[in-house]
Amino acid sequence: MANGQEWWRGAVIYQIYPRSFFDSNGDGIGDLKGITQKLDYVESLGVDGVWLSPFFTSPMADFGYDVADYKGVDPIFGNIADCDEMIAEMHKRGLKLVIDIVLNHSSDQHAWFIESRKNKTSKYADWYVWADSKPDGSPPNNWLSVFGGSSWTFDPERGQYFYHQFLKEQPDLNIRNPEVQEELLATAKWWLDRGVDGFRMDALPHCIHDAQLRDNPPRPVPKSDGKTVIHPYSMQWHTYDKTQPEMIPFLKKFRALTDQYKDCMLVAEVNDDKTVETTISYTNGPEMLHTAYDFSLLVHEYSAPYLRRKVEEFFATPHDSWPSWALSNHDSIRVATRWAVDDKPDLRQTKMLLAMLSSLRGSSFVYQGEELGLTEAVIPPEKRQDPGIGSTGTGRDGCRTPMPWDGTKKNGGFTAANEGWLPVPAEHAAASVAAQEKDPASMLNFTKQFLKWRKAHPALLRGDLAFETLDDNVIAFTRQLDGETLFCAFNLKPAPVTVALQSGWTPLTGYGLQGTAKGQSLELPAFGGFFARKTA
């Protein structure tokens, strides 16, 4: 292993959305000093590292994913000294830090784009994707923005269209340009030299487009599940605007850079028409990225057959790739709401899901508030900050509300300001950290208990996985490593179930879920779970 112990393999990584974690200065927005002040809490969870969403200089059109200075800290979050202090304090606690790096696009306020749009002879003229209109003045092709409408905007200053796969304020960098690649690699090196332990590589399949700008073919309209808005973006096969083969050499350059640093991690964000195929191509082998962030479990579909199928798809062919799994993040409806059976969130289910997630073969990402069992917030229209973007059609604010630290305090203890950038719902304040720390049966104390228990079983961290077929409502598998074989079973439904249990298993204790072995029967209560070790 080029980089030591591969700490990320089997790790649980806690995602912090900095705007909403803790406000240290009373302006209503979370900041880096606020994160530093809460690191004892993060450490107490038993996680191995932190993924920190963007805190770079930004006009905040997309809340930091529109970067105006890749080496700057936005003033709302603090300054570079605050960042250095945060990194040092994380390392004191044995926590690794993975930061977002946005390679696909910058802000339209970035100095590079300001120069690029001036004329076709600027030093930065080819740093972004520019194209002439069709003869009738329409955009160069039929490519669509993830956020709606054409992904092309005409710029009268330059007299051409520029390409943006997200907001028009997020013009796409031309990563085909070697100068752009070298600048992005230099940026990564700058952060690695400051002590970060790796990067979550945002929107990676988007980064290189078809050089001929060919139209995407139409795709059959997917059937609505009644909850997800069908956007025009899903009505195309993204054959030419994403996932081009020229991306592979650039990723190899990134890996070569990070191999110069100890224990570095590169995790690709991959979400495209062929997610598993792309994930493996980006992560298979020692020259490629370490792992990829899988979106398969961030959907509305919830069943044991579906979960099993998605995990098995990843391991269906021989390869060296290592997956990463998540149930919630800053762009998706919180899992406590999204997968609630009959739209009734249940604490027993959230406990079971966290245990299941972190028992799969792979690395696990837990989004802030998931350890509290927070549900999706309903934000009044007049309070929304992110309208019309996201799978609900009402924006992503519902999963981005501030952390409730103390429900007895104003704004749930998140900020001393009159109000935070988003409100703290009453049900979140009632589920605050302070309240849950006092409750032995809380989701928070279960999270701490389970993650500590998990670390005592190496097979759950790095072991091989093989599924067992027991019941349509139960997902069950074994994990095996160095002579230790564990059996894991989870009831995904609110009704108890009894399934057959082969002989030779010794039930384990101390993991906080209810499941009982009686002879060759396993009784799983509603949303129950069970772990056992193979008897020698």
Give the CB-side neighbour count of residue 522, counting CA atoms within 13 A.
Answer: 27
Alpha-carbon gap, residue 458 to 485, rounded angstroms = 10
| Structure confidence at residue 392 as a pLDDT band (50, 70, 90) | low
Question: For residues 311, 313, 318 and 324, what is the CA-based torsion angle, rounded to 10 degrees?
Answer: -40
Residue 3 pLDDT more than 80?
no
Residue 39 pLDDT more than 50?
yes
Does residue 484 have an active-site annotation? no
pLDDT score recorded for residue 221: 79
pLDDT score recorded for residue 294: 84
Question: HEC string of 26-94?
Answer: CCCCCCHHHHHHCHHHHHHCCCCEEEECCCEECCCCCCCCCCCEEEEECCCCCCHHHHHHHHHHHHHCC
pLDDT score recorded for residue 394: 77
Report the range of poorest mean pLDDT among 51-55, 119-123, 351-355, 462-466: 119-123
Per-residue pLDDT reduced to its tens digit, 228-284:
667 889 899 999 999 999 999 999 999 999 999 999 999 999 988 999 999 999 999
Residue 81 pLDDT more than 70?
yes
Catalytic residue among 269, 272, 370, 397: 269
Mean pLDDT of the chain: 95
Residue 384 pLDDT more than 60?
yes
**54-74 as b/e, with b when 16 or more CB fall inside 10 Å?**
bbbbbebbbbbbbbbbbeebb
Residues β-bridged to residue 200 = 100, 267
**Scanning the structure block, which residue is given the tokens 């950038």?**
421
Provide the residue type at 181 as one letter.
Q
Catalytic residue among 202, 241, 272, 331: 202
- Average pLDDT, integer, range 348-373: 98
Residue 476 pLDDT more than 50?
yes
| Structure confidence at residue 536 as a pLDDT band (50, 70, 90) | low
Where do the structural domains in the chain lie, given as residue ranges? 12-104+178-215+243-381+401-454, 463-534
pLDDT score recorded for residue 50: 98
Sign (positive/negative) of CA torsion 388, 206, 48, 318? Answer: positive
Q: What is the CATH number of domain 12-104+178-215+243-381+401-454?
A: 3.20.20.80
Report the range of poorest mean pLDDT among 135-139, 227-231, 331-335: 227-231
Residue 129 pLDDT more than 90?
yes
Per-residue pLDDT reduced to its tens digit, 180-210:
999 999 999 999 999 999 999 999 999 999 9
pLDDT score recorded for residue 535: 82
pLDDT score recorded for residue 387: 66
- Average pLDDT, integer, range 288-301: 94
pLDDT score recorded for residue 2: 37
Fold classification of 463-534 is Immunoglobulin-like (2.60.40)
Helices (H) and strands (E) in the chain, counts: 14, 21
Would you give the DSSP letter of residue 298? S
| Structure confidence at residue 390 as a pLDDT band (50, 70, 90) | low
Per-residue pLDDT reduced to its tens digit, 410-440:
999 999 999 999 999 999 999 999 999 999 9
Q: What is the DSSP string of 206-223?
A: GG---TT-PPPPB-PPPP
Alpha-carbon gap, residue 84 to 107, rounded angstroms = 24
Helix axes 275-283, 247-258, angle to 10 degrees: 50
Does residue 202 have an active-site annotation? yes
Alpha-carbon gap, residue 502 to 490, rounded angstroms = 16
Structure tokens at 224: 């609505």
Residue 389 pLDDT more than 90?
no
Per DSSP, the three-state class of 152 is strand
375 versus 1: the higher-pLDDT residue is 375
Residue 388 pLDDT more than 90?
no
Alpha-carbon gap, residue 456 to 430, rounded angstroms = 32
Alpha-carbon gap, residue 150 to 399, rounded angstroms = 27
Residue 30 pLDDT more than 90?
yes
Q: Strand (E) positions, 261-377?
A: 265-270, 291-294, 323-326, 363-367
Q: What is the DSSP string of 398-426?
A: GGTPPP-S-TTSGGGGS-SSSS-SS---H
Residue 60 pLDDT more than 90?
yes
- Average pLDDT, integer, range 13-27: 98
Q: Are the CB atoms for 194 and 179 separated by under 8 Å? A: no
pLDDT score recorded for residue 29: 98
pTM: 0.96
pLDDT score recorded for residue 1: 30
| Structure confidence at residue 393 as a pLDDT band (50, 70, 90) | low
Residue 463 pLDDT more than 50?
yes
pLDDT score recorded for residue 391: 53
